[in-house]
Amino acid sequence: MFENKHSITMLFNASKVYDRQIIEGIGSYLQTSKVDWDLYLEEDFMARLDHLDEWSGDGIIADYDNPKIQAALQKAQVPVVGIGGSYKNPEDYPDVPYVATDNYELVNAAFQHLRQKGIQRFAFYGAPLDEHQRWAVERENAMIDITSKEGYECYVYRGHPVRPETWQYTIKRLSDWLRSLPTPIGIVAVTDARARHLLQVCDHIGMLIPEKMAVIGIDDDEIARFLSRVSLSSVKQGCFEMGYQAAKFLHKILQGYQGPKKPILVPPERVAERQSTDFKAIADPHVMQAMHFIRQNACRGIKVDQVLDYVGISRSNLENRFKEERGHSIHTEIHNEKLTRACKMLKESDESTADIARICGYPSLQYMYAVFKKHYAKTPIEFREASRPTTVELDLEWEQDE
């Protein structure tokens, strides 16, 4: 049986990926528990914060990274659960039940990913000081603390706000900073949006990614994958879990829970590894150039001759250098790059095998089938099925969520 019906107000910006995933987590708790809630989400709630008491219902789950929302809810007459970023200083947390993304662990996941790639130099591209982006300062301080404890220097640059009228100036200053850094280096960007600035500028100034600069963002924004030629590695926040835990917290309060308000910190979900951190320590600059070109163009059906034209040395010279650095030929490198991309798409997307063959530069679907049979003794469809969680694994994951 359902409990008494409650009207719950959600104060989030549903146009943001981060907020939408939180809302999805709240909805999941509604679907999997016995609560009987009407969830209320108004698109233009910011214009009505002064009259919040007229429409707040029986409880509120709100974005506490927004100072205006936090201020408006100080005198709320109903239970409030805040969602936002974590803080190093316990006194910085709001005086309400609070669920937070663990900013320190987000940055630590990004740093450890870069270090596991063999990178020994590190930088952080942050954001200008802004009361609406307090999490940016927390992430910057986390990066400085982590690198210092590990014995590394960290180069920090906050950059400038993104405005159309100053965009060219902003990009030029970012270019100057990137040129001043020692290479190779790994850069953690405070968000995927800022990471895209790095990818764009590196492309403009001819800085090789990831050979010279390995870049990782935070958010794992699906849209970001398609806005640059180099796919972006990123740390995926546990936004869904944050929403789920916030709804669960509010449910307990509505049932009469009056325990401690200790913040719930939600760790990152995973690191989504893509091209921008596919770093391999390569000493030979000609091989480095060739690798960059192959990563960018392997799926366009390039041949060895096009790699030679790009690097500008003889075939025998580059082949010898490749054998020494990579242990195989240029042709094998092109082949491996296409196969890696195909495997990743089979594991992570629902694209048809025919579309994957086309996207990865295979001359035909039959040819891709032959490649998979040779390497894995499986068809692409069999490879996809073998790579996905079994029903038992999914059930175990669900039990853990419960």
For the entire predicted model, the pTM comes to: 0.74
Q: Does domain 6-101+239-266 have CATH number 3.40.50.200?
A: no
Of 350, 340, 352, nearest in space to 299 by CA: 340
* Amino acid (one-letter) located at 113: H
For range 41-59, the mean pLDDT: 69
pLDDT at 313: 93
- Helices vs. strands in the chain: H and E counts, helices first: 15, 12
Kindly tell me if the per-residue pLDDT of 389 is higher than 80: no
For range 292-320, the mean pLDDT: 91
Strand-pair category, 270-272 with 233-236: antiparallel
Please state, in angstroms and rounded to a whole number, the distance separating the CA atoms of residues 245 and 260: 15
Please state, in angstroms and rounded to a whole number, the distance separating the CA atoms of residues 264 and 19: 17
Residues paired with residue 8 on neighbouring β-strands, in sequence order: 39, 59
Kindly tell me if the per-residue pLDDT of 74 is higher than 50: yes
For residues 29 and 251, the answer to whether their CB atoms sit within 8 Å is: yes
pLDDT at 281: 65
More confident residue, 284 or 196: 196
- The structural domains of the chain, with segments of one domain joined by +, span 6-101+239-266, 103-237+272-277, 285-387
- The edge-to-edge listing of strands for the beta sheet with 59-63 is 37-41, 6-11, 59-63, 80-85, 98-101, 264-266
pLDDT at 187: 98
* CATH number attached to the domain at 285-387: 1.10.10.60
Please state, in angstroms and rounded to a whole number, the distance separating the CA atoms of residues 51 and 123: 45
Percent of the chain at pLDDT exceeding 90: 58
For range 285-309, the mean pLDDT: 90
3-state secondary structure of 204: helix
pLDDT in tens, 93-143: 999 999 999 999 999 999 999 999 889 899 999 999 988 899 999 999 999
List helix spans (H) across 158-284: 167-180, 192-205, 239-254
Q: Give the confidence band of 15 by pLDDT, cuts at 50, 70, 90.
A: confident
For residues 70 and 64, the answer to whether their CB atoms sit within 8 Å is: yes
pLDDT at 36: 87
For residues 235 and 106, the answer to whether their CB atoms sit within 8 Å is: yes
Least confident of 149-163, 182-196, 252-266, 382-396: 382-396
**CATH of region 103-237+272-277, choose from 2.40.50.100, 3.40.190.80, 3.40.50.2300, 3.40.50.1820:** 3.40.50.2300
pLDDT in tens, 80-95: 999 999 999 999 999 9
Q: Measured in whole angstroms, how far is the alpha carbon of residue 239 from the centre of its chain?
A: 11
Question: What is the DSSP annotation of 140-151?
Answer: HHHHHHHHHHTT
Please state, in angstroms and rounded to a whole number, the distance separating the CA atoms of residues 41 and 10: 5
Kindly tell me if the per-residue pLDDT of 362 is higher than 90: yes
For range 59-65, the mean pLDDT: 92
> Are the folds of 6-101+239-266 and 103-237+272-277 the same?
yes
| Terminal-residue alpha carbon distance, the chain | 19
